[in-house]
Structure formats: structure tokens, C-alpha cells
Structure 1
Amino acid sequence: LYLYFKNKDDLSHGIYLRGLTALKSFFQEAIDSRERGIEKVRAIGEAYFRFSREHTDYFNSMMQLRPHEIDFSDPTTNGMRCHQCGEEVMAIVARAVQIGIEDGTIRPELDPMKTAFTLWGQSAGIIQILSAQGEHLQSYHGISAEELMRHSFDMIYHALRA
């Protein structure tokens, strides 16, 4: 194993990188499938939820990464590749927001990158709640994972809409 990876961190970052690469594909397909910016943003959220369901191990590993553990001095490490790919993923989200601002479907005063990070945090939080409490929500409140995600997307949509 260590013929391919420098150390344990490089190995875990390699796994994380595979997940990020898959997520990037999910997001790219999502934005390519919609015209208006606000629709692209919603499609990204739906793709993130689908990714978390179809690639649970990758999603969970991505939630564990600590950027302060990445060696930014060596561009050949998987940690640095993770950072670069993560920036590309966030750029896709920010670009969708920017398109929405330009086409008039998203409020013009929003900063695309700040909005992208906020959307990521909101979506990841809901997904983690569903992962930990999904059965409880269904059993005791009659709320399915899909219903809660849809409700979350609706709230985000209304918050962004111009």
C-alpha cells in the first residue's frame, strides 16, 4: 500500500479525493441539466443528497477531513489534490449562484462564494441529521428523508430567489 501512498494521511486523502472527484461529476451533471441559475443550485443540492445516499462511505470520509492536516507545501500529495478538487467543486456551486444572479433568478446582493459555502453547510448538516436521526424522524414524526430534504431545498430556494 505504501508503494502508492506516502503515509496514512496520504492514503486517507486519496480516498477523500476519489469521493470529491465523484462529487464533482455529480455536480457537473446537475448544472448541465438545468438552464436557470436557481434551478442549477437546486439540482446541485439534489445531487449532493443523492451522492450521500449512493456513496455513503465517501460522503462520511469527506465529513471527517480536517483541512489543517493538509501539507500545503507539497503539491504532489493527495491532500493538496483534495484541496484543489474541493476548490473546483465549490467553484461549480459559486458559478451556479453567479449564473442565477446574472439571469435574475437569484438575489443580486448575494456573494456567490459565501453563498456556496453556506449552501454546503446547510445541505451537509441536513444530510448528517438524516444519517443520525432519519429513522427517528420517520418513526416519531412521520417525516421521511426525502421530505426533509425537499423542505430544506424549498427553504433555500425561497431564501435565494430574486
Structure 2
Amino acid sequence: MPKEKQTTKKQEKYTLILDAAETLMKKKGLYSLNMDEVSYFSNLAKGTLYLYFRSKEEILAALALKARILLLAHFEKAVLNENQPIQQLKAIIHANYTFLKNNPLYYELVSFYEINDRETETEEMSAVILRITELVIGIIKNGQLAGEIDSRIDPSILSFTMWGMTVGIMQLLKVKAATISNHPNLSENIVLDNYIKVFLDGIK
């Protein structure tokens, strides 16, 4: 078999395995993933499965990388639609929310390595997070130069703080969605917009 065809076949099986794992997690949840079911749903022998992934943790890592790359692209697209740094930060927070609503499994994969400190991120995953951090820090620095953001605030610390606060709000919206929807004066958008206002007012 020609080398190019072999590579294509390997890539097809690799994608098949990830697609099967993703389908399973959408049905049963991220923490229910196991190699036996992935083997069954991908229609691949378990021995073949282990040629590509030595454990379910490696499958999770591959999907987490995919999720982080998609999130980065989501942020980059959101930023392109705004000219002012303050509005770009606002757009990133909104993009985070739409990513959560439209891709709940991917959002959970993004968060997985942050709430499971026993899991080790791959170099590729860390590199994507670094690119997200650099994107936000760059916007903050531009905002400080433009006089929109308090120049006394360290951009790296602010970026880290923004990430932590936003993750917390996203978790709140996810966990308390039913409570929020049953409250006569609340909605997810109201909570989100209030957070954005408090955050942006605090860094001006």
C-alpha cells in the first residue's frame, strides 16, 4: 500500500475514534468515557484502538486540544469585529458564553484540565492557552496605551483575573440555569451583562 494511502487510512481511524468518543460523551457525559465503548462504537478492535490511544486520558487530551483550538478561533473572530480594546474584551467574554451554549461538551473539555489537577496538560494544549493569554494581554496593553484601561494594572495579572472571573460566571450560568430562568427579574443575559459592566468599569 502506498505511503500516502496508509497515512490517509490512519488519519481516518484516528478521526473515527475521536468521533465515537465525542458521541459517547454527548450521550453519557465526559466522565463516563471508557475504552470498551469507544472500541464498540468506532467498530474497531480494542487492539487497534490501543495503537492510536493508550488510554481514555489520551483520547480526552486529543479532544481537549481540539476544543481549545476552536475556542481560540472563536475569540479571534470576535475580536476582529471590534476596534476598541474595551469592546474587544467584552466580545471575548460574550464569545466565551456563546461557545458554552453552542458547544457544551467542548466547553467542558476546555475546563477539564483546570478542575482536575491530577491530569497533565500536553504541550500542545498549553500552547493554545498561551496564545489565548497573549491575545488578551495584547488587547489590555493596547487599551492602556489608548487610555481606556488603568495603566497601573499589570496586564498579565489582569488577564489571569479576567479568565478566572469569566470561568466562574460561566459555571454559575451553567449550574444555576434553572434557578435563573425561574427568577422573575433574571435571565442569563442580564447576569452576563451585569458581570461585564462591573468588570469593565473596574479596569477603566
Q: Which amino acid aligns with 1:70?
A: T
Q: Is the 8 A contact 1:42 1:153 kept in 2?
A: yes
Q: Is 1:144 matched with 2:187?
A: yes
Match of 1:7 among 38, 51, 55: 55
1:69 aligned to which of 119, 141, 147 = 119
Whole-angstrom distance in 2 between the partners of 1:89 and 1:5: 27
Unaligned runs of 5+ in 1: 72-78
Does the C-alpha gap of structure 1 residues 123 and 141 become closer, same or farther in structure 2, counting only changes over 3 Å?
A: farther
- When residues 68 and 87 of structure 1 are mapped into structure 2, their CA distance, relative to the original with a 3 A threshold, is farther
Q: Does 1 or 2 have the higher relative contact order (CA < 8 Å, sep 6+)?
A: 1
TM norm structure 2: 0.71
**8 Å Cα contact 1:70-1:80 kept in structure 2:** no
What is the rounded CA distance, in whole Å, between the counterparts of 2:159 and 2:53 in structure 1? Answer: 32
> Gaps (5+ residues) in structure 2?
1-48
In 2, distance between residues paired with 1:26 and 1:147? 22
2:50 is paired with a residue whose SS is: coil
Query: 1:26-70 CA distances to partner (integer Å, 9 max, x unpaired)?
Result: 111122111111111111111111111111101112222146532
TM-score by length of 1: 0.88
Task: Indicate the residue corresponding to 2:16 in structure 1.
Answer: none
Q: Are 1:112 and 2:146 counterparts?
A: no
Report the Cα distance in structure 2 between the residues aligned to 1:113 and 1:68, rounded to whole angstroms: 25
Equivalent AA in structure 2 for residue 37 of structure 1: P
The Cα RMSD (Å) is: 1.6
In the alignment, structure 1 residue 53 sits paired with structure 2 residue 101: yes
Larger Rg: 2
CA shift in 2, pair 1:2/1:113, >3 Å: farther
How far apart are the structure 2 equivalents of 1:58 and 1:27? 14
Identical residues among aligned pairs (%): 21
Inter-partner Cα distance in structure 1 for 2:117 and 2:153: 26
